[in-house]
Structure 1
Amino acid sequence: MFSKFALGTILALASATAWADPYPSRPITIVTPFPPGSTSDIIPRLLAPHVSKALGATVVVENRAGANGSLGAAKVATSPADGYTLLMATTGVLAINPWVYSKLAYAPAKDFDPVINAASTPNLLVAHPGIAASNLKELVELARKRPGELTFASAGNGSTSHLCGESLKAATGVDLVHVPYQGPAPAMQDVLSGRVSLMCDNLSNVLQYVKSGRLKAIALTGKERSPQAPDIPTSAEAGYPDVQAGNWYSFVAPAGTPRPIVDRLNAEFAKALRDPAVTTRLESLGLTIIADKPDEFRAFIAQESAHWQKVVKAANARLD
């Protein structure tokens, strides 16, 4: 016969099991650390309805912008590791911020568990139509003739658009003046108006303006041409292979999130990314679907972090 203690233990375990909530049992929040309207805002809002339907739980997107994504990242880093708070994380958040800030409120490798790398886009160097250059070689020649006159906008110090411009300066020796903004949208507006000469922003952000003729495509800063813009040559084709910049968009969870939850989230995000309507929409923005596994993504983050550490050091792009 069971002792009273043993029977009590069994009943307690049974009660705990009965009351344990299956995941997910309440809303899931995706924090995007950038303003509304950016690619990092569009992606989670596009995927949220699909993931919500698959999981049977509401998925909401919360914008918490500031400090190159650091504010939103810090919030998620200190959230419970239960799968109910996720971060839309970009190249800057996971691979650049650790090198441009001497003090950061989160540590990517320690504070997050990778869930999935959703999609990527190379940067595209564009110019206002009034700039007398149609390709990278012509732009470099023009900049050499007019040192300190051409300006390039960025989404802020330490952003990929900033470091792309710095890489161009380092590779060519030209004198370009950096004009930082609070985000890509206001920067792009000043390039469109002609107040600033150039910008090296994500293909997904600028392709629409190239297609409409409002901006000129100078060079794609990727290793190969983009399927979304096959006629635009790369910086390597112009003789500057070291001018490389781009962005990737991913989802991470607070470190310590149970692996079964991480794997389930990975599977549902991957399914959503491969939905034909979602794929078509993201590709129309100049994005390439990745949808990798958590361990693959972890290795990729380490590789990217090492790359951007070198770029930041060469550009001396410290923010504090």
Structure 2
Amino acid sequence: MKKIIFIFAMAGLGLAFAKAVEAQKSSDIFKDKIMLSASDSEIQSLKDQIIKNGGTPMDFSPNTTYTNTHHPYASAEKKKKILRGYTVADEKSGLFTGINLGYGSLYNDYIDGSYNQNNTTIDTLKKQTTGVLKSPLLTQANLYMFGGKFGYQKFFNPYFGARIYGEGMLSGGPMAGDITDTENGNKIGTLIYMLGSMDFDLMVDIPITHSYKHYVGGYIGLGVGAMILLDNANKDQLKSLLKDTSYSSNNLLWNTLLQVDYTFNMGLSFTVNTKNRIEVGAKIPWTYLRLGLESPATYTNTSGDSKTLVSKDIEFKRSTIWTLSYTYLF
């Protein structure tokens, strides 16, 4: 009985709270209407004063002012067309947010001792290797990615614009698939991959209706960002890769890899009702910059001995990341 009374009491409190919130909202809306009404009255009063003094009141429009200033001798019809173009451009400009889906491949090629062999003239160092993994070891991982973007776009006319935005994409677990040994196809590990970037694109839109609401187009640009990779070894398959099976590691090649990623962006777009934009594109790798923050895998044995891979013996590459995205313009 007490539980029932408590439930009804809580329900009553919840209803009272909801009514209070609704009342506050109604009060706020009423206040806003009063303020707008007061502003309208002030504007009308100023217009009346202008008319009384022999003037003609005109509503302020930056686009109209710009058109009259830069095209003073254009016909009324021409000015109307120009003004319409600027109005459409303004409608296509603003903050936007979106979601991305992506697909690509990552490659890590490990050649034990390659850095010393190519970067020193000292014989003893040239022959120095880690000696824990078979070499060469060439790996590949095919991954699906998910992410989002947020930024600002500005159209200068209905056809040409630019945008700047931040973008992030993530792959891990089942989305990342498995790391495979390209020599035999064995699944030797898994990974987590994150790519974040700041991007700048130029955009072209071609209207496909007279309403200037629907477009087909494209974009091209550059992105600069950072990528993080973490991998995990498949302990069962790892044994076949070891020169000394007394060693083991939770990681295959990397504990963490952090580096700068430079990208070319390009793609095709389809815009619906100005606000909704669907894009099919590609993030094409341009080059990479290692920051010296990577941490390669460390292998240990039961005696406590350890061997850490030389990070510069590992060459990382990624393929083009193909993307499908949806963005909404506020």
TM-score (norm 2): 0.23
Bigger fraction of residues in helix? 1
Q: TM-score, normalised by structure 1?
A: 0.24
- Structure exhibiting the larger radius of gyration computed from Cα positions: 2
Bigger RCO of structures 1 and 2 (CA < 8 A, at least 6 apart): 1
Higher strand share: 2
